[in-house]
Amino acid sequence: MKTDINIAFGKRVAELRKNVGYSQEQFAFKCDVDRTYIGTIERGEKSPTLNTIDKIAKALGISKSELFNY
- Quick one: pLDDT band at residue 1, thresholds 50, 70, 90? confident
15-38: pLDDT as tens digits: 999 999 999 999 999 999 999 999
pLDDT of residue 5 exceeding 90, the answer is: yes
pTM for the model stands at 0.93
The residue type of 61 is: G
Quote the pLDDT of residue 70: 86
Q: How far is CA 14 from CA 3, 24, 27, 52, 64, in A?
A: 16, 9, 10, 15, 15
32: DSSP letter: T
48-59: pLDDT as tens digits: 999 999 999 999
Listed by start position, the domains of the chain span 4-67
Residue 45 CB-density burial (10 A; 0-12 exposed, 13-18 middle, 19+ buried)? middle
User: CATH fold of 4-67, please?
Assistant: 434 Repressor (Amino-terminal Domain) (1.10.260)
Stretch 60-67: mean pLDDT, rounded?
A: 96
Give CA 25 to chain center in angstroms: 12
